[in-house]
């Protein structure tokens, strides 16, 4: 291997690490209000459930790598920490992840400018492959979010019922 090849490996590896982990980190700097104001972007579309069923997303979604613990979030705690605040955090994490993976897909095309012009076609192909790699991760977020919203709604309803029952005790006939 010559010096040029080693140098290009170092440059491209650095680029992809910065692109992916940097984007995943930067999406957390957008104000939470941005994620709340853009509900239309995160809303489930009428055709999505059919697509997920057709591609069998529920069968393979848990086999892909998940890096939530890098940002101090563990989705495996869902069964242990089933609270409104945990559901809210999980929903926000799906939004971070979706925007992050979309950002990675788009920013990956910058690899064309990192490489010499003689390698532009190779860089374009790599960027295209990156888009294909990011799509399943976006789909998983879009698949999970409506389910989490329904869970959050049930938790909120139970919380209201519990609050109502403890603050408005029914008067019994034994008084």
Question: What is the rounded distance in angstroms from the CA atom of residue 63 to the CA atom of residue 87?
Answer: 22
CA proximity to 16, closest of 134, 151, 119:
134
Provide the residue-wise pLDDT of the chain in tens; the chain has 175 residues: 899 999 999 999 999 999 999 999 999 999 999 999 989 999 999 999 999 999 999 999 999 988 777 777 877 666 677 889 999 999 999 999 999 999 999 999 999 999 999 999 999 999 999 999 999 999 999 999 999 999 999 999 988 887 777 666 564 444 4
User: Which residue, among 73, 71, 101, has the nearest Cα to 85 in the 3D structure?
Assistant: 73
How many other C-beta atoms lie within 10 A of the C-beta of residue 73?
17
Question: pLDDT at position 175, please?
Answer: 46
Q: How far apart are CA 120 and CA 57, in angstroms?
A: 34
Residue 69 CA: distances (Å) to CA of 20, 73, 113, 171:
16, 5, 32, 49
pLDDT of 169 reads 59
């Amino acid at each position: 291997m010559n010096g040029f090849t080693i140098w290009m490996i170092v440059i491209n590896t650095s680029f992809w690490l910065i692109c992916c982990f940097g984007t995943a980190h930067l999406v957390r700097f957008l104000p939470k209000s941005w994620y709340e104001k853009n509900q239309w972007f995160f809303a489930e579309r009428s055709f999505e459930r059919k697509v997920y069923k057709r591609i069998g997303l529920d069968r393979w979604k848990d086999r892909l790598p998940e890096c939530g613990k890098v940002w101090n979030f563990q989705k495996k705690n869902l069964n242990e920490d089933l609270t409104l605040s945990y559901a809210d955090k999980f929903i926000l994490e799906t939004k971070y992840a979706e925007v992050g993976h979309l950002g990675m897909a788009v920013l990956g095309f910058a690899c064309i400018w990192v490489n010499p012009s003689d390698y532009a076609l190779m860089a374009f192909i790599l960027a295209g492959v990156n888009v294909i790699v990011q799509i399943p991760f976006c789909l998983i977020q879009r698949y999970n979010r409506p389910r989490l919203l329904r869970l959050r709604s049930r938790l909120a309803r139970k919380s209201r019922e519990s609050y109502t029952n403890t603050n408005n005790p029914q008067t019994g006939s034994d008084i």
